Amino acid sequence: MTRRHIHYEAAFEDYLRSRGIPYVAVDEHRRAIFAGDRVKSFDFLVYHPSGRKWIVDVKGRKFPYDTDGQKRYWENWIGRDDLAGLTHWEEAFGEGFAAMLVFAYHLQGPLDRPPTDYLHSFRDEWYAFMCISLAEYRRACRPRSPSWDTISMPTARFRALARPIQCA
């Protein structure tokens, strides 16, 4: 296993290893260059048991996310550079590869409503991995913060489209 300092990615890698799912971890410290432009790297190339090949970008989020005493569930925002980078990679790899966003939810405290029944334990913490294809996300996303250059999906739409990684 690659030494990862981001616990969300380390937890996802542990999930892949524990299930015997073949993958390649990507060195994110270097950006590739497409036509003179630097492109954000993805996190994993996953050879899914179904035969599909996924270009995965892991997005770590707390579940729920607590801000000023208010709990927010199903955070699914990404940066526009994430969208652009995955689009470039999907085009570069070509047919047979699909870009996927994997939201690694780090479960916070006792939950009365976890995001899924499929949970993964890593370093005495619990995670839920929800995935959505880049194509689905792109169709349903909208601007979230112009100053941060982020986009997100409405919660109800995200919940309807995202699937536990175990069911994808």
Buried-exposed string 34-70: b where 16+ CB fall within 10 A, e elsewhere: eeeeebbbbbbbbebeeeeebbbbbbbbbbbeeeeee
The region that residue 2 occupies, defined by phi over 0 for left and psi between -120 and 50 for alpha, beta otherwise, is beta
Is residue 30's pLDDT more than 80?
no
In DSSP notation, 114-135 reads -S-S--EEETTEEEEEEEEEHH
pTM over 0.75: yes
pLDDT digits (tens, 9 = 90+) for 109-158: 777 788 999 999 999 999 999 999 999 999 999 999 999 999 999 999 99
- Domains within the chain, CATH numbers bracketed: 7-167 (3.40.1350.10)
Condensed to tens digits (0 to 9), the pLDDT of residues 59-114 reads: 999 999 888 888 889 999 999 999 999 999 999 999 999 999 999 999 997 777 88
